[in-house]
Amino acid sequence: MRFSFLRQPRNVALVSYHIPKTAGTSFRKMLEAEFGKNNVVGLYNPQEANAFSNGAELRFKNKLSAIHGHFKPHKNHKISYPSAKTMVWVRDPVERIWSHVGHLLKLKEQHPHFGELSRIYIQKGIVSQSKIVSDIIKNQTLPYMVDFYSRFFSNVSINDIDFVGSIHQFDRHVLLLNEMFSMKLKPKKTNVLSSTDIPSEVKALESLLRHEYEIVSGYL
């Protein structure tokens, strides 16, 4: 276990919240190019990520410049690392769900969330990504998907994050991030689909995610 509530040297410059399907893997590579691979911690172990989401303080022996991974914002992050800037990339809510479901369908049993998707849809003969996503949004069969931003920013408002970038304006926002944080990040190619790749009948369901758009629309 790499966590402790004990005070440690606070040399973290950046805490980067990686929301799934927001080009986080590409961004991590950019951070490693900026700070050095050994100075960027990728926090993806579920137990550790959950602990950090709940306010635990990381403890590492080596010099550390950035923490990046699947964990939620917590007010303790600013207390533990007062010199660190916080940041996150966001994505259109419907497009994020579409991409997430596509990712699960591609990885199947390799992904821990596939079992639930399979039980609700695949095992019942529903295999169309369009039908699955539409039903998830209409009937909220997977609440963690349709309420994702509401849950993610439940402890810390999105307005209190130092930098919020849109993956729909990735290159431009990387330049803005460089200017704000005095960095020299170089954009890398992302695997983000454009809105034209998503069926119109799925895009038409945006109104059912009004609560999610209210959180992120100002940043997209």
Residue 50 lies in a domain: yes
pLDDT at residue 6 is higher than 90: no
**Which two three-digit tokens encode residue 180?**
């704000």
Residue 140 lies in a domain: no
Segment 7-40, tens digit of pLDDT: 444 578 999 999 999 988 899 999 999 999 989 9
Confidence of residue 156 (pLDDT cuts 50, 70, 90): very high
Give me the number of domains the chain comprises: 1
pLDDT at residue 195 is higher than 60: no
Distances (CA, A) of 35 to 3, 157, 177: 22, 27, 15
Q: What are phi and psi of 96, to 5 degrees?
A: -65, -40
Residue 13 lies in a domain: yes
pLDDT at residue 180 is higher than 90: yes
Structural contact between residues 27 and 55, judged by C-beta atoms closer than 8 angstroms: no
Q: In terms of residue numbers, what domain contains 162?
A: 3-92+155-191
**Which two three-digit tokens encode residue 88?**
């996150």
Mean pLDDT over 159-170 rounds to 96
Dist. CA 181–CA 60, nearest whole Å:
23
Instruction: Tell me which H or E stretch contains 3.
Output: strand 3-4
Closest CA to 117 of 96, 141, 99, 98: 141
Output the domain CATH number for residue 77. 3.40.50
Q: What are phi and psi of 192, to 5 degrees?
A: -75, 130
Residue 163 lies in a domain: yes
Segment 86-136, tens digit of pLDDT: 999 999 999 999 999 999 999 999 999 999 999 999 999 999 999 999 999
User: Going by DSSP bridges, is the β-strand pair 163-166/66-69 parallel, antiparallel, or unpaired?
Assistant: unpaired
Confidence of residue 191 (pLDDT cuts 50, 70, 90): low
pLDDT at residue 59 is higher than 80: no
Structural contact between residues 203 and 195, judged by C-beta atoms closer than 8 angstroms: yes
The residues near 142 (Cβ < 8 Å, ≥ 6 apart) are 116, 117, 120, 136
Structural contact between residues 184 and 178, judged by C-beta atoms closer than 8 angstroms: yes
